[in-house]
Amino acid sequence: MVRQRGVPAEGNRVVMTSWSAQNHVSQLQIAAAEGAWLTDPGGRRYLDLGSQLINVNLGHQHPRLVDAIQRQADVLCTAAPSFAVEVRTEAARLIVERSPAGMERVFFTNGGAEANENAVRMARIHTGRHKVLSTYRSYHGATATAITLTGEPRRWPSEPGVPGVVHFFGPYLYRSPFHATNETDECERALDHLEQVVTFEGPHTVAAVLLESIVGTNGVLLPPEGYLAGVREICDRYGILLIADEVMVGFGRVGEWFAVDHWDVSPDLICFAKGVNSGYVPLGGVVVSADVAATFDERPFPGGLTYSGHPLACAVAAESIRVFTDEQLLDRVRKIGEGLLQPELEAIAERHPSVGEVRGLGMFYAVELVRDRSTREPLVPFNASGAAAAPMAEFAAACKEGGVWPFVNSNRLHIAPPLVTSESDLRLALEIIDSALDVADAAAA
């Protein structure tokens, strides 16, 4: 067993750790971080392959973002959302300008879960309907509505959830719930399934369809060509709003301001957080279309947050958008994805029988690990824990021993480093992953 440096549970009893049994928590202590690298108290460095929780898009301690916080703190640290603040207006303007056509306003939140909560609230009030459809294999946050919308095991302990949420299957060709063998059939059958769900739920009761534009934690599942446009068409036909959860993939992760831009689709509401300011100060929000925004021109919006549009957070968001523009990062992400990550990961897959599929876009990829390529049996079972999850834990430990801090979930390695990671560091990380996959190969044998 590879030994890992960490802070055992008894050394950190005052902090309650999310998604964990508190007596079994062992954490890496971070003493410093810069760019794509984390440093522990002993001076050992790890490449942050998951950008923490896929949010530190501009890397750790970016000097322009740190300076933006310091400059804003010298002027105004905080202000209630009932006051007009220049930096809040500026951040909203920059976000709207980079959003798809038809978007008009921003409602700021503290993070992604609250963004999804408030988008659903807007949709229900705007349409006068109560049901919201979301997919299995999705994660939308841990607040009451957001966790009910979530379509994976983290939802289960919170059930029964809020009423009116209905789950359906989204496209996932590698493990097709529709028995499809090609992208065209997967798209058509997934859209037919969605329309049947709408029909049997009653179109007049459905306020919104909420989708991760690209499914994140549950597999980096890219929608097949035509799927998002097809969902848009179904929504339009039945007077249903389309909500895009872009919390994980917005702001450059796949080489676009918003992932929906890759497929040229305009939602009614876009939920964002994470990459909007790389998490330097918590910030999220909803980009609201002109049509939905008009609902609240004369009617009060029944929601609010003490820290909505926090000046420090908005200062970092505005500066972050300027950094993206000045450094042409969207172009860089596309080039890195097409010219480095995709071909190198495909080459790694050829060398390792435990790799079932590589998929992704920009700087957002998943490597799905299997016991058998022909049967596609996952390396670990669905929702595995304890001894059943050991093969993935051992693979992750091998990555860490090599100097890469991985983002793993279920039977997948997710590759989502800071967008400013150098090509040489990316190649180093891929070499370490290549070596660590020998552990997965052995487990699958």
Domain assignment of residue 148, yes or no = yes
Return d(Cα 381, Cα 394) in angstroms, integer: 15
The CATH number that applies at residue 67 is 3.40.640.10
User: 57 and 67, same structural domain?
Assistant: no
User: 317 and 357, same structural domain?
Assistant: no
User: 116 and 40, same structural domain?
Assistant: no
The answer to whether the CB of 253 falls within 8 A of the CB of 259 is yes
Q: What is the pLDDT of residue 4?
A: 46
pLDDT tens digits for 49-82?
A: 999 999 999 999 999 999 999 999 999 999 999 9
User: 114 and 38, same structural domain?
Assistant: no
Domain assignment of residue 33, yes or no = yes
User: 290 and 167, same structural domain?
Assistant: yes
User: 301 and 391, same structural domain?
Assistant: no
User: Among the three residues 285, 309, 326, which one is the final residue of a domain in this structure?
Assistant: 326
User: 386 and 368, same structural domain?
Assistant: yes
Three-class DSSP labels, 115-147:
HHHHHHHHHHHHHCCCEEEEECCCCCCCCHHHH
User: 177 and 153, same structural domain?
Assistant: yes
Residue 287, amino acid: V
DSSP secondary structure letters along 184-242: HHHHHHHHHHHHHHHHHH-GGGEEEEEEESSB-TTT-BPPPTTHHHHHHHHHHHHT-EE
For 149, the token pair is 């919308």
User: Among the three residues 290, 311, 326, which one is the final residue of a domain in this structure?
Assistant: 326
User: What does pTM read for this prediction?
Assistant: 0.96
Domain of residue 249, residue span: 63-326
Domain assignment of residue 89, yes or no = yes
DSSP secondary structure letters along 136-176: SS----SSHHHHHH--SGGGGGG-S--TTEEEEPPP-GGG-
The CATH number that applies at residue 341 is 3.90.1150.10
User: Among the three residues 305, 326, 347, which one is the final residue of a domain in this structure?
Assistant: 326
Domain assignment of residue 1, yes or no = no
CA trace torsion 73, 78, 83, 84 (10° rounding): 30
Domain assignment of residue 277, yes or no = yes
Domain assignment of residue 2, yes or no = no
**How many folded domains does the chain comprise?**
2
Q: What is the pLDDT of residue 26?
A: 86
Q: 277 φ, ψ to 5°? A: -145, 25
CA trace torsion 110, 269, 52, 169 (10° rounding): 130
User: 89 and 47, same structural domain?
Assistant: no
pLDDT block averages, 10 residues each, the chain of length 445 = 48 83 90 97 97 98 98 98 98 98 97 98 98 98 98 97 98 98 98 98 98 98 98 98 98 98 98 98 98 97 97 98 98 98 98 98 98 97 95 98 97 98 98 98 94
User: 139 and 57, same structural domain?
Assistant: no
Q: Which of 49, 423, 72, 416 is nearest to 220 (CA)?
A: 416
Domain assignment of residue 198, yes or no = yes
User: 162 and 20, same structural domain?
Assistant: no
User: 349 and 284, same structural domain?
Assistant: no
